[in-house]
Amino acid sequence: MADLLAQLVAWCKEHRAALKQQLDLLESGQMCTFETRGTETRVDTTAETVRRIITQVSELDRLLADEDEAETEAKAKGRFPSSI
């Protein structure tokens, strides 16, 4: 169980890092996102994508903070964390 939790935490950290990299590119103008709506109409969805990524990063930050807190608490009590 602890090994699976460690793998999940590692994935969360990797995914958060990838999202932050995308966010940096979007906010600096080095990358844009577009969506085709209707027939051949391309719409710039960069602002929507930035908002979505910020939300995802915030949620991952919250989950990882909860896990860090649970791990610290569990170590103090001598057992494995299980918050995520």
Predicted pLDDT of residue 38: 85
pLDDT value of position 20: 97
Question: Does 45 fall in a domain?
Answer: yes
Q: What is the domain extent for residue 40?
A: 2-77
Number of domains in the chain: 1
Q: In the prediction, which pLDDT does 80 show?
A: 58
| Assigned domain for 84 exists | no
* CA of residue 34 relative to chain centroid, distance: 21
pLDDT at 74: 65
For the chain, residues with pLDDT lower than 70 are 1, 71-76, 79-84
Reported pTM: 0.76
pLDDT at position 79: 63
d(CA 17, CA 83): 21
Is residue 26, in this structure, part of any structural domain at all?
yes
